[in-house]
Amino acid sequence: MSTGLLIGRNLSFNDEDAEGTEQPHNDALVIFVLMNNIQVKHVLVDPGSSTNIIRSRVVEQLVLQDHIVPAARVLNGFNMASKTTKGEIVLPVNVAGTIQETKFHVIEGDMIYISLLGRPWIHNMKAVPSTLHQVMKFLTSEGVRTVYEEQHDAKEMFAIDEVIPVSALSSTKGSDLKGIQEAK
C-alpha cells in the first residue's frame, strides 16, 4: 500500500513541542482552520471519531446552506445518544497551507465545538495528533508541518464553575453515591 509519504521522513514529538502549553493537562486538541477561506476557531481534532461534523449554524454563517446535500444519517456518541444529521457538505479545509476537500455531516443544534475533524480527515491529511504535546504534525512535499493548539480556548470551554468537595457529596442521603469514597 502506498502512503504517499516521503521516504526517510518521520513524525515524532518531543518536549520542545509542548513548550508554551500548561502542563500537566487533560485537554483535547483544539485548533483553528480556514473553511471556504474563512477562519474557524474551536475545531476539535478527534481521532476517536469516525466522521467529520459541522454545525448547521456554521454552514449558514459561511453562506453555504444551499450546498448541503440532504442525507439523514444517525450518529451515535460514546454514550449511545443518537443524533440524526441534516445532510452532508464538502468544504475546503486549509490547515497550515495544506487544503483538503473534506466531507462533513451537518447537524442541527449545539455542540461545544464549531466543528469536529475525525479520522477521515486525519487519515487523508496523513496527520498525527498529540494531545499531550497539543500539536498535530503532517508531512508535505516541503517537509513536516506543525499545527499548534488553542489550549486556552479549550480550557475555557470546559471551565468548572463550582467545585463540590467529596465530603459535601458524602453527606447526601440515599444510595445514589455507591462507589464514591472520600479520599483520606
Mean pLDDT by 10 residues, the chain (184 residues): 54 85 86 93 94 96 95 83 92 95 94 94 96 92 89 52 46 39 35
Q: What is the pLDDT of residue 177?
A: 36
Q: Domain range for residue 92?
A: 25-170
- The pLDDT of residue 59 is 96
> Is residue 176 included in any domain, yes or no?
no
Residue 94: inside a domain, yes or no? Answer: yes
Cβ 112 vs Cβ 142: under 8 Å: no
How many domains is the chain partitioned into structurally?
Answer: 1
pTM reported for the whole predicted model: 0.76
* 131: Cα separation from own chain's centroid: 10
Flag whether 38 is in a domain.
yes
Per-residue pLDDT, 38: 92
In a domain, 51, yes or no: yes
Buried b (16+ CB within 10 A) or exposed e, 117-148: bbebbbebbebebbbbbbbbbbbeeeeebebb
**Residue 130 domain flag:** yes
Residue 86, domain CATH: 2.40.70.10
Residue (of 120, 117, 139) closest to 128 by Cα position? 139
Category of 119 on φ-ψ map: left (φ > 0), alpha (ψ -120 to 50) or beta: alpha
Asked, for residue 68, whether it belongs to a domain, the answer is: yes
17 within a domain of the structure (yes/no): no
In a domain, 180, yes or no: no
